[in-house]
Amino acid sequence: MNKTIITAAVTGSMPTKEINPAVPYTPEEIAREAIECYQSGAAIAHIHVRNPKTGEPDSSIELFREVVDRIRHECDMLINLTTSGLNIKDANVIEKRLEPVTLKPEICSLDIGSVNFPHRAFVNSPEWGRSAAIRMRESGVKPEIEVFDTGHL
């Protein structure tokens, strides 16, 4: 029998309510959507958090923590937290991007190469890749290696 693992990314990194009114913004909405996906057969929740008021991508550890706690309280879905940090302006960007690893999700994204998105470059330096891989291994968090093009293989 062939087996399939379904991952639900209920917010994604870019969609807004203007594009799709169903995009969740608050930790409660994000967790509720993930739990509903679990109840429908998804095994993994790939989590991006948003500023609850504006819907802009956010990397606040408090928002990640609330989503993780809500999901874990309701089900045993595997949790995959993004480490994209697309909104981080902090000079210590690597440490800020790795904060979700401290929540001990089963999985965190590991972006191993840079790519151009429609409105910005998503830069992932070799230093980032090494630092993230080491931190995830030390923390017992499995990496979801994100490959955006064949040059990342």
Domain boundaries, the chain: 7-147
pLDDT digits (tens, 9 = 90+) for 52-80: 999 999 999 999 999 999 999 999 999 99
Note the pLDDT of residue 149: 86
Q: What number of CA atoms fall less than 13 Å from residue 67's CA on the CB side?
A: 36
Are 77 and 43 spatial neighbours (Cβ–Cβ below 8 Å)? yes
The reported pTM is: 0.93
CA gap 60, 122 in Å, rounded: 19
pLDDT digits (tens, 9 = 90+) for 2-27: 999 999 999 988 888 999 999 999 99
Structure tokens at 81: 């937290």
Q: Does domain 7-147 have CATH number 3.20.20.70?
A: yes
pLDDT digits (tens, 9 = 90+) for 81-111: 999 987 777 657 899 999 999 999 999 999 9
